[in-house]
Structure 1
């Protein structure tokens, strides 16, 4: 089964190209309509007065190369099938369409198919009288002393430099010279913890857990070494050491490339590690983190260093109108702002009130005594811990009462302190919901000095943040009618309303909140909601 989204394998590349054209932010792209096997993305605003810059290769490396078509970079991108070079015919048609008297530079990654197909197309174009040059990018340094270093993400640095000088009306010879200078000064190396998936094919992941493959190719070719990956910073440092051999203490720009399957969270972490590594210490500009040259969905990243000359630096920093280029930046200062920690604890003065103490004692002991029954009910309609959870909160408040550590004479402060105790001791959502209830009630009481209205205000906030309401088969089915009756009538009416509300939950065959919402109607029928029973019992304790 495929691990990738696509319609048909044969139309995947064309579909992706159309998606890019539909959505590109500069609205400056189109494609040549020749036949279904030739896929060429070109600038809509091209007039052949400048040197044309063409790159391309197999699909699967998006946004390369079509994502870099636009003013200041590529004139056209020739797209092959996934990991397959475009045909000679496709390259030749692209050359013929965009090339004027100023000539054309082909920028090709160092893979046999690309070199041969682009090379033959170049010779055919020359035979037709066109002025053509080609630069073969070979920035991969993972294989020491390789006779054929591969072209990987550093290719986009070459695109940028060549595109800049072409846009400045430089001659083909000058554009080629600067592209070669960029190629000679760029070094890249990649690492991954999984390989990539090919559309429609089953791919075995050869990289073991807690291992990474260093120097693997952008088509999934095996790398030079399997390394441990206990910490990302260690892997970054290994790569940094290899790249720094080529910088020779000179100024350089660094490109951080997502190989396709690495999440934004991970790329941000890697950015930190790169900036704080030995490589980051002498870095002048950072490009990325971003996907520049990918390997479909390979979970990995690559680093590319371009040693800078004044001319290369000017070219790199010039603005462009392309979809996928990332402007180079000097690294920002990440020093945090230091402030004093805000204490969430409620500040209060202990005070006494015999009447209030009696109420608190009654409520807490009622809930504690209900522990076994509430757990039994919750076993039928939940996860069996409502009694334990409520009892835990009640025991904490009761202990504070016995230790004379409550502001009993200040109702608003008492509510806040009770809310704080419940949040810390009950755990789960019920503790937070009840903490919201008491905290909001305390805030309202401080302003209006009305107990019933304060409790209803707390209820409204609990409903707002918790998302439950009357009819959802929760404690609110008993609490809301009881508090309304307390406000509009008296305590006796509130006791009756709480019982009626709790009884109603036994007839509700669908729960819309809490653990009971996952149960079928047969499991709920005839069983009261445990939270509603707790509310009913607390009110009944004041008969």
Structure 2
């Protein structure tokens, strides 16, 4: 089964190109319409008066290369199939279409297919009288003393430098020299915890859990070493040491590249680790974090370091009109604002009231005694823990009562303290909902000194934040009619209303809140909601 979104494999690249053109923020891209096998993205505003800059290669590295077509960078990108070089014919047609008297520079990554196909196309174009040069990017330093270093994300730096000098009307020789200078000063290395998926192919991840491959290739080629990833900053520091060895303590910029499948959360963490690493401490500019050169959905990242000569720095800082470039930044100051912690604990002095103490004790004892019955009911319509949850809250309040640690003589504070204790002891949504109920009731009581209205206000807040209402088969089906009756008719009427409301839930064949909402009507029929039963039994105390 495919792990990627696509229609048909043979149209994947063309479909993706059209998507880029549709959504390109500068509206400056189009593509050549020659035949279905030739896929070339070009600038719509190109006039052939300057040196043309062409790059390309296999697709699957998006946004490279088409995402860097536009004023100040590439003139055209030639797109092959996934991880396959474009044909000689495709490259040649691109060269012919965009190249004027100023000539053309091809920028290719150091892979055999790209070297050969772009190289042969260049020779054919020269035979037609066009001036063409080629720079081969080889920035991958993972394989020490490699005779054929691969081209990876540092290629984007070369695009930027060449594009800048072409935009300044430099000659082909000057543009080529600037691109070669940048190439000589770029070093890159990547790491991944999983390889990529290729469209239409089954792929098995060879990288063990809790391990990463250092130096993995952008086509999924094996890395140079399998390393532990217990701490990301250790991985970053290992890469930093290798890159720093290439800078010779010169001024440099750093590019943090998402290889395609790394989440924004992880990239932000990696940015922190990079900035705080030995490499980040002395860097002049940071590019990213973002995808520049990917390996489809590879879960990994790469670092590219470029030594900044005066010519390179000027080119990298220049504005462009391309889809996927991100301007350099100086690392921001991340010093937090230090403030005094605001405590949400209710401050109170314990006080006594024999009448209130008796009521609180009766309520707690009743809820505790219902533990088994409420769990039984909840096992029929939920996950079987309502009794345990309610009981834990009641036990906490009961213990505070025994310790004489409640403000019994101050109704506002009592409600607020009970709300706080329930949130701490009950857990789950029930504890928070009841905490909201008592906290809001306490605030309202302190302002208006009316118990029934305060409790109704607490109910309204609980309904607002919890989202349930009468008819949804919750404790509110008993609590709301009871509190309305308490306000309008008195306590005796509230007892009757609570019982009636709880009994109504047994006839409700659809729950619209809580875990019962996932059950069918047959499971609910004839079973009271356990929360509503708890409310019913508490009000029965006052018969």
Q: Fold-level match, TM-score > 0.5?
A: yes
2:452 aligned residue? 452
State the Cα RMSD in Å. Answer: 0.9
2:110 aligned residue? 110
1:97 aligned residue? 97
Is residue 542 of structure 2 the alignment partner of residue 525 of structure 1? no
Aligned to 1:147, the other structure's residue is in SS state: coil
Is residue 153 of structure 2 the alignment partner of residue 149 of structure 1? no
Per-residue CA deviation, residues 227-261 of structure 1 (Å, 9 max, x unaligned), is 12211111111111111111000000101111111
2:350 aligned residue? 350
Q: CA deviation at 1:341?
A: 1.2
1:439 aligned residue? 439
Q: CA deviation at 1:403?
A: 1.9
Per-residue CA deviation, residues 69-115 of structure 1 (Å, 9 max, x unaligned), is 01110010000000111111111111111111111111011111111
Does 139-148 or 352-361 show the bigger shift? Answer: 352-361
Structure 2 Cα separation of the partners of residues 337 and 134 of structure 1: 52
1:272 aligned residue? 272
The residue correspondences of 1:152-167 to structure 2 (distance < 5 A) are 152-167=152-167
1:542 aligned residue? 542
1:10 aligned residue? 10
Is residue 316 of structure 2 the alignment partner of residue 316 of structure 1? yes
The residue correspondences of 1:34-49 to structure 2 (distance < 5 A) are 34-49=34-49
1:175 aligned residue? 175
Structure 1 Cα separation of the partners of residues 203 and 374 of structure 2: 52
Q: Which runs of 5+ in 2 are unaligned?
A: none
Structure 2 Cα separation of the partners of residues 38 and 5 of structure 1: 22
Q: CA deviation at 1:406?
A: 1.3
Q: CA deviation at 1:402?
A: 2.2
Q: CA deviation at 1:152?
A: 0.5
Per-residue CA deviation, residues 102-134 of structure 1 (Å, 9 max, x unaligned), is 111110111111111111111111111111111
Is residue 307 of structure 2 the alignment partner of residue 307 of structure 1? yes
Structure 2 Cα separation of the partners of residues 281 and 420 of structure 1: 46
The residue correspondences of 1:381-460 to structure 2 (distance < 5 A) are 381-460=381-460
Structure 1 Cα separation of the partners of residues 60 and 47 of structure 2: 29
2:137 aligned residue? 137
Structure 1 Cα separation of the partners of residues 396 and 404 of structure 2: 12
Per-residue CA deviation, residues 144-188 of structure 1 (Å, 9 max, x unaligned), is 111111110000000000001111111111111100000000001
2:71 aligned residue? 71
Structure 2 Cα separation of the partners of residues 253 and 179 of structure 1: 16
Is residue 89 of structure 2 the alignment partner of residue 84 of structure 1? no
2:374 aligned residue? 374
Aligned to 1:255, the other structure's residue is in SS state: strand
1:215 aligned residue? 215
Per-residue CA deviation, residues 408-465 of structure 1 (Å, 9 max, x unaligned), is 2221111100000100111111011000000011111112221111111111111111
Q: CA deviation at 1:323?
A: 0.4
Does 338-347 or 64-73 show the bigger shift? Answer: 338-347
Aligned to 2:279, the other structure's residue is in SS state: helix
